[in-house]
Amino acid sequence: MERKEVVYVVSDSVGETAEFVVKAVATQFNGGQIEIRRNSYVDDIEDIEDVIMLANKDYSIIAYTIVIPALKEYLDKRAREEGILAVDLLNPLMNAFETRFNKVPHHSPGLMRKLDEEYFRKIEAIEFAVKYDDGRDPRGITKADIVLIGVSRTSKTPLSMYLAHKRFKVANVPLVPEVPPPDELFEIPRKNCIGLIISPDKLNDIRKERLKALGLGSQANYASYERILDELDYAEKIMKRVGCPIINVSNKAVEETAGLILEVLKKERSF
C-alpha cells in the first residue's frame, strides 16, 4: 500500500507563508501527491501536542513558522522525541538577519499580516484620492478623512496623493466663482476640511508657467491678476463659511504642506 505523504503546516499566525513555501517545494516533487494540512494560530503546548499526535499517525513532515521562542523549542524537542522531521522555515533567516544586521527580532506572530493590512489600506486610500480628485464626485466629501479646498494650482491633487500614501482618504474640491460649492462641503465637520490659499504673485507665476506648458498665451484670463484676486477672494469667503483651518501653500513643498495639514488637524482631532 502506498504511503500517504503529508506535510503539517504549523504557525502561530495564519500560516499562509509556510503553506506557500511548502507548495513551492512540493512542485519540485510532482507536488500533487503531497497533502498539506494547515494548523493556524498555534499558541500553546496543547496545540503542539495535537499536531505531534497527528503527525505520528502519518508518514509526514512538520513545516513551521513559529516565532515565539518557547513554542519553537518545545516543538523541536517533541519532534525529536517522536522521530518526526520538523523543518523551521523562519529562524535560519531570522538568525542571519540578527547576526549580519545586528538587530533583535520582535518574536511577535502576525506581523506580516499587519504589514499586508497597512499596504491594502494605502492602496485603498490612493484609489479614493483618484476617484474623488478635483471635485469629480461630491459624495466623496462625506467619506473622506481629509477634504482639501482651494483655487486651481494650490497643489490639491499632489497633496491628496501624498496624504493617501500616508493612508488618509482625501477628497479635494476646486473653488471656482462660477461654480457653487457642493452642499456636502457644509455638512461635514470643520475638523475634516483644510483650506489652501496662496499669494496672488505666486499663483500668477504658476499659472503663467502652466499656460506656457500647454502652449497657450500667458495673457489668458486664467492667469490674469484680476481674475486671480477674484478667485482668491471667493475662495476665502467659502473657507470662512465652512469654518475650516486655512494654510498658505506659497513657496512650500508638498511634503512641508502635508506636514502642516497633519499638525493642524491633530489640534482638531486625534488620528
Q: What is the pLDDT of residues 179-221, one digit of tens each?
A: 999 999 999 999 999 999 999 999 999 999 988 888 887 667 8
Q: Is the pLDDT of residue 235 over 70?
A: yes
Q: Is the pLDDT of residue 31 over 70?
A: no
Grid coordinates of 210? 502652466
When pLDDT is cut at 50, 70 and 90, the band that residue 32 belongs to is low
| Average pLDDT estimate for 163-180 | 95
Share above pLDDT 70 across residues of the chain, in percent, rounded to a whole number: 92
Grid coordinates of 262? 497633519
pLDDT for the residue numbered 96: 86
How does pLDDT run across 13-28, given as a tens digit for each residue? 888 888 989 998 988 8
pLDDT for the residue numbered 17: 84
Query: Rounded mean pLDDT of the chain?
Result: 89
Closest C-alpha to 162, from 177, 181, 148, 143 = 148
Identity of the residue numbered 64:
Y
Closest C-alpha to 110, from 5, 239, 13, 202 = 13
Annotated binding residue at 150? yes
Strand partners, 171: 147
For the residues of the chain, what is the DSSP string, one character each?
A: -PPPEEEEEEESS--HHHHHHHHHHHGGGTGGGEEEEEE----SHHHHHHHHHHHHHSEEEEEEE---HHHHHHHHHHHHHHT-EEEESSHHHHHHHHHHH-------TTHHHHHHHHHHHHHHHHHHHHHTGGGS-THHHHH-SEEEEESTTSSHHHHHHHHHTTT--EEEEE-BTTBPPPGGGGTS-GGGEEEEE--HHHHHHHHHHHHHHTT--TTSGGG-HHHHHHHHHHHHHHHHHHT--EEE-TT--HHHHHHHHHHHHHHHS--
Annotated binding residue at 13? no
When pLDDT is cut at 50, 70 and 90, the band that residue 93 belongs to is confident
When pLDDT is cut at 50, 70 and 90, the band that residue 2 belongs to is low
CA-to-CA distance for 255 and 132, rounded, in angstroms?
Answer: 21
How does pLDDT run across 116-151, given as a tens digit for each residue? 677 788 889 999 999 999 999 999 999 999 999 999
Annotated binding residue at 151? yes
Grid coordinates of 138? 461630491
- Other CB atoms closer than 10 Å to residue 246's CB: what's the count? 17
Q: Is the pLDDT of residue 92 over 90?
A: no
Annotated binding residue at 17? no
How does pLDDT run across 43-78, given as a tens digit for each residue? 889 999 999 999 988 779 999 999 888 899 999 999
Contacts of 108 (CB under 8 A, 6+ apart): 67
Q: Is the pLDDT of residue 270 over 70?
A: no
CA-to-CA distance for 95 and 25, rounded, in angstroms?
Answer: 22
Q: Is the pLDDT of residue 271 over 70?
A: no
How would you label 206-241 residue by residue, b for 16+ Cβ within 10 Å and e otherwise?
bbbebbeeeeeeeeeebbeeebbeebbebbbebbee
pLDDT for the residue numbered 1: 47
pTM: 0.62
CA 139 vs. chain centroid, Å, equals: 22
Domains, the chain, with CATH or none: 5-109 (3.40.50.2300), 117-268 (3.40.50)
